[in-house]
Chains A and B, each alone.
Chain A
Amino acid sequence: NAGVTQTPKFQVLKTGQSMTLQCAQDMNHEYMSWYRQDPGMGLRLIHYSVGAGITDQGEVPNGYNVSRSTTEDFPLRLLSAAPSQTSVYFCASTPMLGVNQPQHFGDGTRLSIL
């Protein structure tokens, strides 16, 4: 019963570095999404995917790329890290949004950009 697994849990980067945040789910969910959580601002949607091979932008997509080659995995790539991307990143999945199903969240990746 792994649910949604995010790796790494913590990461420190220097400005300009790139990295990939991993997200995997074992519930065969079609819908996956990435959020960032900043103090006092709740969660903001970065990118989402409604199925393998399909991705779309959320509210704050700039500086991030995603791909969905399999149903299970939905990695988030930071192309050139900036201090403004210091945040906690959450991955979530649900069978399909809009059919009255809750989202399942990972425990997050805490990212600091120096």
Chain B
Amino acid sequence: SQQGEEDPQALSIQEGENATMNCSYKTSINNLQWYRQNSGRGLVHLILIRSNEREKHSGRLRVTLDTSKKSSSLLITASRAADTASYFCATDERTSGSARQLTFGSGTQLTVLP
């Protein structure tokens, strides 16, 4: 089952605009991660936010985490055509065992029009 669910499934914006993607999850987490996937390529890690953090920045990326609502958002500011890709959230879940799993959502397809 999917732990993280992204919203919207697809987003199309003009170059220079901001893009916001949301992720909801169901259980307690150690951290939440955002990944980017260009067409035909593997996933590339963008940013990791720990469960005790509320906001994190990396360049044009801003991630927020609300553990009370079990949700996160990824904001890409001043978007560029090169930002066109699929974006996935993934949750590192707390379990009772020694091993953990990273569970991915179904992704948001972002298209930035030049």
Contact = CB atoms under 8 A, between A and B. Distances in A.
How large, as a class, is the contact surface on chain B? 20 to 34
Interface in B29-72: 30-31, 33, 35, 41-45, 48, 50
Contacts of B35: 105
A22 to B, nearest CB: 15
Interface residues of A, number: 27
Interface of B: 1-2, 30-31, 33, 35, 41-45, 48, 50, 88, 90, 92, 98-107
28 contacts: A35-B104, A40-B106, A41-B2, A42-B2, A42-B104, A42-B105, A42-B106, A42-B107, A43-B43, A45-B103, A48-B99, A56-B99, A90-B42, A97-B99, A97-B102, A98-B92, A100-B30, A100-B48, A100-B92, A102-B45, A102-B48, A103-B45, A105-B35, A105-B42, A105-B43, A106-B42, A107-B41, A108-B41
